[in-house]
Chains A and B, each alone.
Chain A
Amino acid sequence: MSFPWAKHYEPKSEFTKFVDSRLPIPRFVYDALGAGYPAPKNLNYFYNFGFLAGVALMVQIITGIVLAMHYAANTAIAFDSVEHIMRDVNSGWMIRYMHAVGASFFFAVVYIHIFRGLYYGSYKPPREVLWMLGLVIFLLMMATAFMGYVLVWGQMSFWGATVITGLFSAIPVVGPAIQTWLLGGFSPDNATLNRFFSLHFLLPFVTLGVIVLHVWALHIPGSNNPTGVDVKGPQDTVPFHPYYTAKDFFGLGVYLTLFAVVVFFAPNMLGEVDNYIPANPLSTPALIVPEWYFWPFYAILRSFTVDFLFIPAKLLGVIGMFASILLLFFLPWLDTSPVRSNNYRPWSRILFWVFVVDVIILGVCGGKHAAEPWIIISQLASVYYFAHFLIILPIVSRIEKTLPLPNSIAEAVLAKYNKASSPGLAGSPGVQPAE
């Protein structure tokens, strides 16, 4: 699945020859992550975030398995067992904070990864399936994060579970039965907590499986790149190892530094204080909000306040929220421009940044009380969210006059290199960067 000029694995010692003819894992790693996998030579630091997302998932899995050794999924003691982890278990506080902060970091990294794909047109042919698998991973992450948050069994856990399972009760006819089925009762209770614990343990491994498919789908066409131009020859690529292993590990160092700063100095910065109050079914907190990474979608949910035709506002909100994500599955066919990278799409580039601002506005609204002016702002921002994908982008991708594309990645890199170094290297047109 690699380019014809990819280097081939050649076992040298007797031992590696022995292994290669029986279980060729070294060959597999060499071809997937090593010198045998050529990647575009112009990948920038935004291309670190896929690797970082993988690291973030492994941090969650490792800390999560440790937490499960000390946690008790029973409504009578769940909250206390979390406090037991925080106070009594050796280093428990650190492991729990790594898990809680790690969830936020995982989403932050994945959001940058998704917006990277949006900017450089990585969802376009031939990478549609790769894009859609990424969205499946995103949906799995959302379900996992939601159920994990419930396990703490604080006030926000309980009421979050009530509100989110309540979404399903909006479905006509069968909705209430589905909600009861999901909860295993008429309100979140022990049955709910137990099944959420079971599924919260399972889904990360399902996610891991889909990530294998995601990376497999990536390795068929290879990475997109900031120019969006296809790889044409050996001069356009460098071997993944050592070039991108080194680049990824540098990014990892920066990421882990930031992660440590938040874990050790501001672990509750991104959380809700109400979740340090044990769950109480008879008292609703004054403001129910999900964690920050759900705010944009929560804002869309709440922006439907009036019935339309015979569809109640509640059902419209639920449809709107799910549609906002499902819409992304159709993006490869909504954006019909043959040019991938927004670097060469002057209008689409501006619209990309407007869309980023729109999502941030939705995020801010989602974290506020459902009152004016936040309702009207989130309504306008929701309208724009859908208009961006359904109206503006399809039209712009048809009528936009794109900038001339470089003939190859190598040409784009050299043009940049010559421009940057021309004052000092004037008169030496034959200068080539070291390969």
Chain B
Amino acid sequence: MASETSVAADTLPPSGERRRDFIYVATGAFAAAGAAAVVLPLVNQMNPSADVLALASIDLDLSAIQPGQAVKASWRGKPIFARHLTPAEIDAAKKVDVSTLRDPQTLDQRTKAGNEQWLITLGVCTHLGCVPLGAGEGEARGDFGGYFCPCHGSHYDTAARVRKGPAPKNLEVPEYKFNTPTAVTIG
């Protein structure tokens, strides 16, 4: 009986497949699935851990910021710029022909209705993630009066839109809402 079984398993039938081929494929597939099940957590362990992901929102009081001034705050490990635009800066931002911009956005799209004097963005250059200058007192604000990234020379205008340099996008506007006319919750 044993020899008959081995003949059945090992002899090549006309179809070119042996019964043992199924065992090989099944074994290989089982091992591959097992390996994938181990690799997945090994790769995924490098993603942000639960404590890093725990979404933090921050409350920001804007009442002390005079027109023309800006403050820096920290949110999820990144800087936030909150800037009180002067009427001249708002005009300058609105005069720009949006179609000429690399990342076309109007000032209205980047601020909240009725609060267009408050420009709140991430302080992270969209090129390679440096903190642009221009939020601190006396820092260079670049050729367009907004922000200037010293790393690779990106210039942002008074709506924090990229106007010159290698940055591909405008400074990102985070999710936020006004609680009172001078207090916001970011995140």
Contact residues of A with B, CB < 8 Å? 159, 162-163, 165-167, 169, 180-182, 184-187, 189, 191, 195, 281-288, 302, 304-305, 307, 312-314, 317, 369-371
Known pairs A162-B129, A312-B168, A314-B168. 13 more at Cβ < 8 A? A163-B129, A166-B127, A166-B129, A167-B128, A185-B52, A189-B77, A281-B131, A282-B72, A286-B150, A287-B150, A288-B130, A302-B152, A370-B153
CB-defined contacts of B47 to chain A, threshold 8 Å: 180-181, 184
- Contact of B99 with A by CB under 8 A: no
Which residues in A have their C-beta under 8 angstroms from that of B153? 369-371
B152 touches A180 (CB 8 A): no
Within 8 A of A (CB), among B161-178: 165-168
* Given A166-B127, A284-B131, A184 and B52 contact (CB-CB distance below 8 Å): yes
Q: Pick from B43, B102, B168 the residue with the most CB of A within 10 Å.
A: B168
B127 neighbours in A (Cβ, 8 Å): 166, 314
| B49 touches which of A184, A187, A305 (Cβ 8 Å) | A184
Q: Is B114 close to A, CB under 8 A?
A: no
Give the complex CA separation of A281 and B72 in angstroms: 12
CB atoms of A284 and B130 under 8 A apart: yes
Given contacts A162-B128, A162-B129, contact A281 B151 (CB under 8 A): no
CB-defined contacts of A167 to chain B, threshold 8 Å: 128
A308 to chain B, nearest CB (A): 12
Q: How far does the alpha carbon of A162 sit from the alpha carbon of B132 in the complex, in Å?
A: 13
Among B74-130, those with CB < 8 Å from A are 74, 76-79, 102, 123, 127-130
A-B contact count (CB 8 A): 90
Task: Decide yes or no whether B48 CB sits under 8 A from chain A.
Answer: yes
Q: Does B46 contact A (CB under 8 A)?
A: yes
**Known interface pairs A189-B77, A371-B153; A283-B131 also in contact (CB < 8 Å):** yes
Whole-angstrom CA separation of A162 from B79 in the bound complex? 13
Assess the A282–B152 pair: CB atoms within 8 A: no
**B129 partner residues in chain A, CB cutoff 8 A:** 162-163, 165-166, 169, 187
Question: Considering the complex, which residues of chain B in the window 26-48 have a beta carbon less than 8 Å from any beta carbon of chain A?
Answer: 43, 46-48
Q: Give Cα distance in the complex from A413 to B153, angstroms.
A: 55
In chain A, what residue has the closest Cβ to B102? A307
For A159, A185, A285, A304, the residue with the greatest tally of chain B CB atoms inside 10 Å of its CB is A185
Residues of B with C-beta under 8 A to A189: 52, 77
Most B CB contacts (10 A, CB to CB) among A167, A281, A370 go to A370
- Residue B166 contacts which of A182, A191, A286, A317 (CB distance < 8 angstroms)? A317
CB atoms of B151 and A284 under 8 A apart = yes
B148 to chain A, nearest CB (A): 11
Q: Is A314 in contact with B52, judged by CB distance below 8 angstroms?
A: no
Q: Which of A184, A305, A313 contacts B46 (CB 8 A)?
A: A184
Partner pick for B76 among A166, A186, A313, CB 8 A cutoff = A186
A-B contact pairs, 15 of them (CB 8 A): A159-B130, A163-B151, A166-B127, A169-B129, A186-B76, A187-B129, A191-B49, A191-B52, A281-B77, A281-B131, A282-B72, A282-B74, A282-B131, A286-B150, A305-B166
Minimal beta-carbon separation of B146 from chain A (angstroms): 16
- The smallest beta-carbon distance between A26 and chain B, in angstroms, is 41
A198 and B109 alpha carbons, distance in the complex (Å) = 44
Residues of A within 8 A of B128 (CB): 162-163, 166-167, 169, 314
Contacting residues of chain B (41-75) with chain A, CB-CB under 8 angstroms: 43, 46-49, 52, 72, 74
What's the minimum C-beta distance from B62 to chain A, rounded to whole angstroms? Answer: 18
Q: How far is the CB of B56 from chain A (nearest CB, A)?
A: 11
A312 partner residues in chain B, CB cutoff 8 A: 168
Measured CB to CB, the closest approach of chain B to A9, in angstroms, equals 43
User: Given the complex of chains A and B, what is the CA–CA distance between A169 and B126 in angstroms?
Assistant: 10
Distance to closest chain B CB from A382 (angstroms): 14
Identify the closest chain A residue to B150 (Cβ): A286
Nearest neighbor of B126 in chain A, beta-carbon distance:
A314
Judge whether B168 and A313 touch: CB under 8 Å.
yes
A419 nearest CB across to chain B (Å): 54
Residue of B nearest to A165 (CB): B129
Q: Residue among B123, B151, B153, B165 with the most chain A CB within 10 A?
A: B151
Tell whether A163 pairs with B166 under 8 Å between CB atoms, given A195-B46, A287-B150: no
**What are the residues of chain B within 8 A of A313 when measuring CB–CB?**
166, 168
In the complex, chain A residues whose CB is within 8 Å of the CB of B76: 186-187
Q: Report the bound CA distance from A286 to B151 in whole Å.
A: 7
Give the distance in Å from the alpha carbon of A80 to the alpha carbon of B79 in the complex. Answer: 24
Q: Bound state CA distance, A284 and B123, in angstroms?
A: 11
Q: How far is the CB of A297 from chain B (nearest CB, A)?
A: 14
| Residue in contact with A288 in the complex, picked from B43, B102, B151, CB distance below 8 Å | B151
Chain A residues within an 8 Å CB radius of B72: 282
The complex places the Cα of A191 from the Cα of B130 at a distance, in Å, of 19
Distance A288 CA – B154 CA, assembled complex (angstroms): 14
Give, as a whole number of angstroms, the nearest-CB distance from B47 to chain A: 5
Give the residues in chain B near A187, CB-CB below 8 Å: 76-78, 129
Asked if A314 meets B131 with Cβ closer than 8 Å, knowing A181-B47, A189-B77, the reply is no
Which B residues are CB-close (under 8 A) to A285?
Answer: 150
**Using Cβ atoms and an 8 Å threshold, which residues of chain B touch A169?**
128-129
